[in-house]
Amino acid sequence: MGSPSWSQLSPSEKQVLAPLAPDWDNLDAQRKQKWRGLAQRYPKMSTDEQQRIQGQMKSWAELTPQQRQAAREQYKSLRQLPPEKKDEVKQKWQEYQNLPPEQKRELASGSPATAGAPGAPRSAAPGINAPAGQAAPAGSPADTKRSR
């Protein structure tokens, strides 16, 4: 698959990977290969899965390089958790997903008023904080592994 520039991608790859267009030529070869692999699998995905992937790519593209790096590091640390801790993190994430949008915003802003509030997600492992947006950054290569 190599490391083509954006202009060298096929029209179908460009269509699927459009949210990544502004950053494509700055991605390393390994990341480009992962994204191209996703683009090849894309036509076989359900409509719901395609929409989810597009939304995740769009959100991922909006992250700063520092946010992306932090998300990759968080994903790596989550993968290394023992199974019971992974279950705990999944449960906390589900609790977070069920919160009203206003409470999510308060948690994301780090508001001390809600940080210890009942029902507020707490860190399940050292260094793992309740996410402000997606569990794994939307559309990240790490996140797309779940759909394989």
40 pLDDT more than 90: yes
- Token pair of 42, please? 């894309």
pLDDT for 93: 86
Q: How far apart are CA 82 and CA 128, in angstroms?
A: 14
pLDDT for 125: 38
Strands (E), the chain: none
Q: Percentage of the chain surpassing pLDDT 90?
A: 45
Higher-scoring residue by pLDDT: 77, 142? 77
Residues 86-145: tens digit of each pLDDT: 899 889 988 988 989 888 888 888 765 544 444 444 443 334 444 444 444 444 444 444
Residue spans of the domains in the chain: they are: 45-147
- Token pair of 88, please? 């705990």
Higher-scoring residue by pLDDT: 120, 33? 33
* 12: number of Cβ within 10 Å: 12
Q: How far apart are CA 61 and CA 54, in angstroms?
A: 11
pTM of the full structure: 0.57
Residues 97-112: tens digit of each pLDDT: 898 988 888 888 876 5
CB within 8 Å of 117: residues ≥ 6 apart = 103
Higher-scoring residue by pLDDT: 32, 119? 32
Q: How far apart are CA 45 and CA 38, in angstroms?
A: 10
pLDDT for 107: 84
Q: How far apart are CA 115 and CA 106, in angstroms?
A: 8
pLDDT for 8: 95
- SS3 state of residue 111: coil
20 pLDDT more than 90: yes
pLDDT for 115: 44
67 pLDDT more than 50: yes
